[in-house]
Structure 1
Amino acid sequence: MNLLEVDGLVKHFPIREGAVLRRTVGQVHAVDGVSLTLAPGETLGLVGEAGCGKSTLARCIAGLHPVTAGKVSFDGQDITNLSRSAMRPFRRDIQVMFQDPYGSLNPRRRVGSIIADPLVIHGVGTPGERRRAVSELMERVGLDPGHHNRFPAEFSGGQRQRIGVARALALKPRLIICDEPVSALDVSIQAQILNLLKDLQNDLGLTYLFIAHDLSVVRHVSDRIAVMYLGRVAELARADELYEHPRHPYSDALLAATAVADPDVADRRARVVLTGDVPSPVDPPSGCRFHPRCPRAREVCAIRQPALEGTTHLTACHFPIGPDSPMGPDFPIGPDSPTRPDDERPYGEGGAGWR
């Protein structure tokens, strides 16, 4: 049985105006019909550009945002829009690691009390047992237990993120939502934190929802990867399959933008350039939301929303990349893409598209 199931989750934020008589004049379509599953002990990577809805989706799963529509189930139980008191037992099993190690820790409190907060809030153990638990947690994440009396400002960025890991582990959760936990760290420190998370998963049987905007980061920690674009999942596949054979043009563009250590490989890799800006989530494009920037787009892409289809490799695209594509395996991508009949520019340049 899956540990986490997300079915058709929708989260819209109302746009209101007026000083006295406030009225709703629009909606921000942050998440628009996302369905995911997460098995026990698995790591699901969630990637996409900034503003695509990754963090909003994570907060809805954790119960930090109310859900507009859809359903979230944890271990077979519906936890959608539970009250604070009803959600409290699930807080022990679902914890969050936040992005900014500098902003996620209270600078006025000592790290020992920060790590012990979950234990105090949930009434776990005596004061002496909590002190011992804090020491054990600090040692497990690679920190000196003797530094429990220091303030966050006395630690480096990587050490602060380890404090965040220790706090997330305090209640022995089953699912940890990692919201871009290494994006604010140096590359060498990123590797240390990723290795720590992997070791903890192996030792404690943890399940991760790992959010990032860099595909090269999630490749080393994820079993499966979901690619989001403007509130929807564009592609979902096993990590190795997605890296070797991306089927959605957006995934292909993200992979083309990742850094490659081998210069020979980088020279041989096809260059994919996306033109135009990301559309506004207040007024998203009709049909496929990626079509204004997609070099493979055709008129049907602006009319009909593609379904997320497949067996193990799911793609939401009318004309996916691959040998079974309606356009054929050698359909050109990038500057050599076919042009629109009434325009000499490649389709998507300047953000134009059929609407």
Structure 2
Amino acid sequence: MKLIETRKAAGTVLCHDITQIIRGVTKDARFRKGHIVTEEDIPVLLSLGKDHLYVWEAGDDMLHENDAAEILCRACKNDGMARSEVKEGKVELTAEHDGLFKVDKERLLKINSLGQMMIASRHGNTPVKKGDKLAGTRIIPLVIEKEKMEPVKQIAKEGPILSLLPYQPKKAAVITTGNEVYFGRIRDTFTPVIEEKLKEYGAEIAEHIVLPDDHKQVTRAILRALDNGAQMVLCTGGMSVDPDDQTPLAIKNTGADIVSYGAPVLPGAMFLLAYYGKNRIPVMGLPGCVMYSKRTIFDLVLPRIIADDPVTAEELESLGEGGFCLGCEICTYPNCGFGKGW
């Protein structure tokens, strides 16, 4: 930082805000720190009583906050993200399309642990809409050592730490099980709920089968749906531990790889997730709560399935913290704490 005459300041960078006060009109910064002084600015600065200015003195070992912010932005920005103009060392990212927002938590922590810089994002594994804000970055000081940004560049070589996976609309087969529905004792109110949830992500039901509590029939129906090209199979009913609840056994007997039967989420503890064959087609057993609760485990998993983002057993296990839905009278999901543990 050095002191210079304002008349000679064109092209230099201000080290501090310069406030303009007009009685009854404004009292605010007329020029912000980091502003590059132009010839047109000089008469205005003189009119504000600034005959001298403190400006940034460039050196080979230092970067201005805006230049450093560009490096930080490159470490974050990925396909499907729009960025703001850099201002005061800050850049914000927004979604250019609907999709599943992902965060590399480990590398995010590494950058935030470097000091003098920060990245703040919304939670990962969150469905977002076009135009939603995703993250903001900032360089804390006005100038920062160039060497401080080198670890950021190294981390960025692995690719951006943020990603926005577009949805891949899928055709689903729904297999409704239960003697009570099959024999017409009650009306199927489960399938319409699934249909609405699939529509949120551009997916649709291509096949719907109703079967009694017979695990052999259910197994055959799942395999037939897969042979017919179903891109996901959703089984409803028979997911409890009663003697007549045989859906988990039916899914297991298809030969699918069971990721988890049960999840630390309420509503949704009796959820089952499996992947079938070399193409890893998702097969799910949905507990009854999906039918009558506003948001459940299905709402947490479905956007990842639609975005072709594989779900692991460890990730499901991590949902215990944040996996308790409060059942708010006015639901704001996904802008709430539900399911933010993974």
Q: Which has the higher strand share?
A: 2
TM (normalized to structure 2)? 0.22
Greater Rg by CA? 2
Task: Report which structure shows greater RCO (CA 8 Å, sep ≥6).
Answer: 1
TM (normalized to structure 1)? 0.22
